[in-house]
Amino acid sequence: MAIRQIRTIGDEILRKECKPVKEMTPRLKELVEDMFETMYETGGVGLAAPQVGILKQIVVIDVEDGNQYVLVNPVIESEEGSQTGAEGCLSVPGKSGIVTRPNKVTVRAFDENMEPIELVGEGFLARAICHECDHLHGSLYVDKVEGELEDVEAEEEES
């Protein structure tokens, strides 16, 4: 496992559409492990493959609910309600902004073994799912910020 370099805003790879994963290769399994290690090392709660320079539809999430989520080729099937709150991103260091997201989402994806899964996320998990899935389509939370970006201390950053 290895810590990978996180691409930051201004890097054109963050604005590109990611390709679906056709099969889980040993190299992609290593990528998933590296993504978790990189996310934990940098204090994030989610990380998408383009954030480490790989244009594949892979997301890892850990919102400290006792689960590690791996979403391959995720598709958000439904959204309910709304929540508005501060959001940050490892690819936009030192900043946060207010973003409105669904309060509950259902996502269909594959796990790290390419087994189909359905995940229902509420609250913070729903926010993380939406945030990370946006990365797979070249969208950053700064595109959705209500008002201005704020400066934050490193330990306050999330996702």
Could you list the active site residues? 132
- Geometric angle at alpha carbon 53, from 50 and 57, rounded to 5°: 35
CA distances from 138 to 9, 37, 87 (A): 11, 23, 17
Burial class (CB within 10 angstroms; exposed 0-12, middle 13-18, buried 19+) of 83: middle
Residues 83 and 158: their CA atoms lie apart, in Å, by: 16
Asked whether the beta carbons of 33 and 40 are under 8 A apart, the reply is no
Query: E-assigned strands of the chain?
Result: 46-48, 58-61, 69-80, 83-87, 95-101, 104-110, 116-122, 146-151
